[in-house]
Structure 1
Amino acid sequence: MGPKGVRVISQEAFDELVRENMEDLGMDPADALQDAIETLTLQGVDFSGIVTCIPGVSSVKDNPVIQSLDRLEEIVSRSKDQGNEAPTSGFGDKDLEEMADLLDTFSDLCCNEGSGNASIATRNGGVELVCSICSKLSLGCELPLASALKTMASFLHDIQSTETFRKSGGPKIVVDILNASRQNFEILNNGFSVVAAAATGNELLKESFMDLKIDELLIQIMREQKKGSIQSLYDAVRVLLTADDNRVLASQVFGYARRFAKMGIAGALVDAVREGLSSPSLISASIALKAVAVNDEICRSIAEDGGIDAVLQCIDDSGTQNNKAVARACCSLLSKLAGSDANKSAIVEKGGMDRLIKLSSKLFDDPSVLQEIMSIICTLSLRSPDNAARAVEAGAGELAIQAMQKFPSAHQMQKQSCLMIRNLVARNQENRQVFATLKPYVNSDFFWLIEIHFEYFHVDHIFLPLLLQICRTLLLNNGIEKIIRKAKENHESCKEAATDALRDLGLDNYNL
């Protein structure tokens, strides 16, 4: 049995099933193979890593992955027979050259999505073999070493392969290589790819890497290398700080993030984000910085290092250059930073509301971008009537109405829009009835009233509840109730958020 009761089958058992179909049932070879696959699939058998060949027609040994593995094993075995007389860790120059070619072939085969080649390699001892090769190669073997690390990263695709990597001493082997190869870009890039692949979904490997002080190594290399040059480094940070192993009840990643922050990684990541769209690693660096920002103290320290200015500039540039991927990543990061009350004020004071609405107008064709923008506005408006009024002044109300009308099937965006509407109108509900009579008089002068408020009145002045009530009325006059009810009816995930939005808009039948 495999993990969580998944049934598995050996190569020998699979071949025997195909052979029985041919010999006992008289099926032709192609039908015998297809019947075996379909039968096992219906029985819930996981036969990933099985070479689906026809006995007597083709052989497991004909598979290119198996052939490459066998040839690599021959080279390793020959180096053992030669003892220590051969140069560079027991491998001859020709062996090293062939090894690099074979490893590159492995990478190409395993990166072919849907081929199942990575499963075939790991089931047949690929992880153990490449770990052994990495441990034997000396620093003079840079080309095959870089190729071996690239191959290892392509092998680590599931919990079985990463556990094999852990039990084979993989973490220490890789960290030792990284420590000794700080000036070799290819080895660093491929090595951190291994760290990211190995630690994905595996809490024990995150712990192993942290025990080996990979946090110190990461920060040192970030300071030594050109900013943004090693994308896999940022991927490694993100994975190490992501709680993605459902086998454990409580992940340690929160503590790891605090450890990273104390060592100054936030400032280094801000510098990487500050490189802007000229950096190929901007998205990875933004996601890594978001993973580090786990508490108010760290969020504020990121702002103090210039993080808010850097992210807002990237948001501006992403709109100008129509870069939706950067827009999503940077908006998601800004939303995380906005969780700190101190940062909320800083974002608004730096024109954050207007810049976000401007971005939405430029990338209005992408509901995933609009969703991220609404998430920030929702966070900025939480428990802040002043920020809510500023958001409406900037055009958040129109954004909600237009986006919900244009993308009725984008359920996550619909939900986020409902959450944003709720935060825009939730405070000072006691004034709702008092100002209900203003409904016929709402018009374009609304925005002039808000400008007057911000110029002449303090946030606590009684004029603010009036503005927020006008905001509710404006939304209702533009048909927001019908739009929200449609989202509530069409999307199960929107029901709670839509109900809250209808309630805070002052509607009595919000539960209907």
Structure 2
Amino acid sequence: MAKRRITQETFDAAVKENMEEFEMDANDALRDAVEQFESQGVDLSCIVKAVPAAFTDDKQQEQTHEVLQALDSLQDSTSVTDANVVANLKCFTQQCSLGFAQRYLAAQKDAYPVILSYCKRSVKQQEALLAALSALAALTDGQPDLLDSDGQRLLLDVLSKYQADSSVTHAAVNTVRHCCLKHEQNRQDLVKGGVVPLLTHAVTQHNQCAKLVKETTAALRVLTFDDDVRVTFGQAHEHAKIIVLEHNGLKVLIDAAKAHFNDTSVLAELCSTLSRLAVRNEFCQDICDLGGLKLMMTLLADSYESPELVRQVLSGIRAVAGNDDVKDAVVNAGGVQLIVIAMNTHMGNTSVSEQGCACLSVLALRKPNNSTVIMENGGALAAVQAMNTHKDAVNVQKQGCMLLRNLVSRMQNYCQPILDLGAEALIAHALQTHQDCEDLARAALRDLGCKVELRELWTGKHGSLTN
């Protein structure tokens, strides 16, 4: 059932009433208001839970929050050359960065057209434009619906005119990423407007700027998402094809990874984006041929102590191993041993366990020889331990079941060794605990030779397709 919502004004009035009618101090009045509304099932995620500045002032002023004070200051300024404008924009950006509630409140008070107007008027003034774009990026974080056609044209124009300026480009790319996340129409409009070559060029031109490479790589990845629940069919696959085939995206990203080999945060973003682009068999092979697979193997060997990087690298290997030839390349390069080591090192990390099981599962699929390598290097044991450690994590259970099934589907001689590890009880537990895991768990039990009740979903009897 959907939670109730209230306006900021309603919440502020309750705080004010606590202070004036019940003589509470500011902190107690705020805390009591929060507790009262939450006890009534009200969603306060979009509410600024702070006492407006006027409440704490002896003067009788109109109540307002700091983010709205910053917005009012911007509305009072008439020229971008005003010395205070940049300072006011920075103040607004800082307030928006405090949380989604501040951004939401600002948007409700028409902050978007105000900030966009400053961006337009500042296009020829680098300092003011950087401050305005930073404010726009902060405001649109979590609010991609704010972006309109004027905003899209502005972003494309800025990315084109300021290609040599890494700071302005970073602010524009950051805005692009925020406005494309969970918004399919913005993605499609910006791609049609030519944002992809601008992004890939930014990575190439500013190859040594870690901050910009990381942000631009993330923006490219967001273009391949299919996360807008309002849209039945998105263009994620098509956008990936455009990045790879029309703008040489794989080589651009792999070259960037080689330039930042010692920066784990940049490498994690690059590996994650490469995995999103591996949507075709030939793309997987291209990543391998361009040195991407070798890079991932090296990262897994040299940076196994970083769980976030390990997770992203495993995700990348999982994606490119969709190609059967790449599967063999991973195994021949010692990938199985490295994956198992990573899983054992970060056994307590749910994401690493999930991706590790998924990687081994893909490598074992249709490859009995690979199954032998996985068994010999403790892959089944690592999977069983992961399932035992993360019994409440449905994705770990699903990937673990899939791996165990793939190991024995063409190598029945491995059934008993896997059962001896205690796999049957763990799979049965997953079957009983996680509804999303039922089909995979039943299939795993069946292929392991265990007794399992297989459900016949439809027999074609007891009914007719027509009346």
Q: TM-score, normalised by structure 1?
A: 0.78
Partner residue in 1 for 2:418: 475
1:492 corresponds to which of 430, 435, 443: 435
CA distance in structure 1 between the partners assigned to 2:422 and 2:33 by the alignment: 57
Matched, 1:221 2:223: no
Matched, 1:290 2:303: no
Contact 1:190–1:232 (Cα < 8 Å) also in 2 = no
Provide closer, same or farther for how the CA distance between residues 208 and 37 of structure 1 changes in structure 2, counting only shifts above 3 A: farther
Provide closer, same or farther for how the CA distance between residues 394 and 247 of structure 1 changes in structure 2, counting only shifts above 3 A: same
The letter for the 1-side match of 2:165 is N
Matched, 1:307 2:250: no
Contact 1:49–1:123 (Cα < 8 Å) also in 2 = no
Partner residue in 2 for 1:509: 452
Partner residue in 1 for 2:219: 236
Which stretch has the larger CA shift, 345-354 or 270-279? 270-279
Matched, 1:316 2:301: yes
Cα deviation digits, residues 419-469 of structure 1 (max 9, x gap): 100000012xxxxxxxxxxxxxxxxxxxxxxxxxxxxxxxxxxxxxxxx33
What value does the CA root-mean-square deviation take over the aligned residues?
A: 3.1
Provide closer, same or farther for how the CA distance between residues 113 and 19 of structure 1 changes in structure 2, counting only shifts above 3 A: closer
The letter for the 2-side match of 1:481 is E
Provide closer, same or farther for how the CA distance between residues 152 and 477 of structure 1 changes in structure 2, counting only shifts above 3 A: same
What secondary structure is seen at the aligned counterpart in 2 of 1:237? helix
Per-residue deviation, 1:39: 5.8
CA distance in structure 2 between the partners assigned to 1:18 and 1:142 by the alignment: 42
Per-residue deviation, 1:221: 1.5
Summarize the alignment of residues 309-458 of structure 1 with structure 2, pairs less than 5 Å apart. Answer: 309-319=294-304, 322-427=305-410
Provide closer, same or farther for how the CA distance between residues 132 and 254 of structure 1 changes in structure 2, counting only shifts above 3 A: same
The letter for the 1-side match of 2:275 is K
Provide closer, same or farther for how the CA distance between residues 129 and 400 of structure 1 changes in structure 2, counting only shifts above 3 A: same
Per-residue deviation, 1:209: 0.9
Instruction: State the number of aligned residues.
Output: 444
Provide closer, same or farther for how the CA distance between residues 70 and 490 of structure 1 changes in structure 2, counting only shifts above 3 A: same
Partner residue in 2 for 1:453: none
Partner residue in 1 for 2:69: 67
Matched, 1:99 2:77: no
Identity of aligned residues (%): 25
What secondary structure is seen at the aligned counterpart in 2 of 1:311? helix
Contact 1:9–1:47 (Cα < 8 Å) also in 2 = no
Provide closer, same or farther for how the CA distance between residues 14 and 364 of structure 1 changes in structure 2, counting only shifts above 3 A: closer
The letter for the 2-side match of 1:295 is R
Per-residue deviation, 1:64: 1.4
Matched, 1:253 2:236: yes
CA distance in structure 2 between the partners assigned to 1:511 and 1:337 by the alignment: 33
Structure with greater Cα Rg: 1
Contact 1:49–1:118 (Cα < 8 Å) also in 2 = no
Partner residue in 1 for 2:133: 149
Contact 2:204–2:256 (Cα < 8 Å) also in 1 = no
Per-residue deviation, 1:481: 1.7
Cα deviation digits, residues 231-260 of structure 1 (max 9, x gap): 211111111110111111110121111111
Per-residue deviation, 1:479: 2.5
Contact 1:348–1:387 (Cα < 8 Å) also in 2 = yes
| Structure 2 unmatched runs, 5+ | 456-467
Contact 1:228–1:281 (Cα < 8 Å) also in 2 = no
CA distance in structure 1 between the partners assigned to 2:366 and 2:313 by the alignment: 23
What secondary structure is seen at the aligned counterpart in 2 of 1:144? helix
Per-residue deviation, 1:303: 1.5
1:273 corresponds to which of 244, 257, 263: 257
Partner residue in 2 for 1:189: 170
CA distance in structure 1 between the partners assigned to 2:424 and 2:133 by the alignment: 56
Partner residue in 2 for 1:136: 121
| Structure 1 unmatched runs, 5+ | 80-90, 428-467
Provide closer, same or farther for how the CA distance between residues 344 and 120 of structure 1 changes in structure 2, counting only shifts above 3 A: same
